Amino acid sequence: MDIGAKTCFVFDLDGTVYLGDRPIQGTIDFILRNLARRELFFLTNNTSKNLDDYLRKLARFGIVVGIERILSPLLPLADYLREHRLRRVYPVGNASFQAYLKERLPEIEFTCGDACQAVILAYDTELTYQKLAESCLLLQRPQVRFLSTHPDLVCPSAQGPLPDVGSFVKLYEAATGRLPERIFGKPDTLILSPLLERFRREEMVIVGDRLTTDKTLAENAGIDFILVLSGEAKREDLPGLARQPALVLDDLGAL
């Protein structure tokens, strides 16, 4: 892979640019060197934070960008709810997630009543048994749709992996027999739609720490992938892969 030919870099955040509140300095240094030279975007599956939260967090590391540089499952989710006229929903998500939906879709109503059209499962860092119980009861009704923001089993943190939406999905499957009918985050290429309309695939590269989401997204989209070993994936995970990453680095400090 010719790095010099890449004009659009798409960075995963958790485990790639930072780990919890700890910066991954080599990658941050690369971003700062290239911020004015290349088109840089930041992609996360984490729906416990809204887009403004990510802008503020990146700014703490010296990376100052506009909101158009942040890609999240929140964007295609809101578009989908509007397109399919799903206005009465039950959100299994924290206050930040709910506030974002209210901001993007002022007409939305959060309800567990008879009129509920869908359960939306996000990365709920304020999850309670009441939410689990109410949402599982709603999913007993076949007409209530089941949507999920992303499939990650765990969320990386400085202390270790934490349960994420994919783990919650297993709980719902056991309790209700249902799986989400639509998942909006990586590795679904819908999350890259704004970039795929602007850039040729050969000038794009995805940088991430996960094989199951970041690498698979790159392969699904036909884009080169750089694996950084600063998060989930380890070098011993690579043998036997049907397709190897274009580059494997500890972080981008070597570039």
| Residue 156 scores a pLDDT above 80 | no
Q: Residues 163, 122: one domain? A: yes
Provide mean pLDDT across the span 10-38: 94
| Cross-strand pairs, 183 | 148
Domain residues for 45? Answer: 3-72+186-254
pLDDT (0 to 100) of residue 172 = 98
For residue 155, name the pLDDT band (cuts at 50, 70, 90). Answer: confident
Q: Residues 12, 78: one domain? A: no
pLDDT (0 to 100) of residue 14 = 87
| Mean confidence (pLDDT) of the chain | 95
Q: Residues 78, 68: one domain? A: no
Last residue of a domain, one of 183, 206, 237: 183
Last residue of a domain, one of 125, 152, 183: 183
CA distance 77 to 241: 31
Q: Residues 51, 30: one domain? A: yes
Q: Residues 101, 158: one domain? A: yes
Q: Residues 21, 103: one domain? A: no
- Residue 165 tokens read as 């939406």
Q: Residues 53, 91: one domain? A: no
Provide mean pLDDT across the span 213-233: 95
CATH number of the domain where residue 11 is located: 3.40.50.1000
- Residue 168 tokens read as 């919650």
| Residue 157 scores a pLDDT above 80 | no
| Number of domains observed in the structure of the chain | 2
Last residue of a domain, one of 151, 183, 215: 183
For residue 209, name the pLDDT band (cuts at 50, 70, 90). Answer: very high
pLDDT tens digits along 101-132? 999 999 999 999 999 999 999 999 999 999 99
Q: Residues 80, 164: one domain? A: yes
Cα maximum dimension of the chain: 57
CA distance 231 to 210: 7
pLDDT (0 to 100) of residue 149 = 97
CA distances to 10, 34, 62, 78, 175 from 196, in Å: 11, 21, 27, 19, 38
pLDDT (0 to 100) of residue 159 = 80
Provide mean pLDDT across the span 151-179: 91
Higher pLDDT: 145 or 156? It is 145
For residue 75, name the pLDDT band (cuts at 50, 70, 90). Answer: very high
For 157-166, 187-196, 216-225, which range has the lowest pLDDT when averaged over its residues? 157-166
Percent of the chain with pLDDT over 90: 89
CA distances to 6, 69, 228, 236 from 240, in Å: 27, 34, 18, 10
CA distances to 16, 32, 50, 81, 136 from 63, in Å: 14, 7, 17, 32, 41
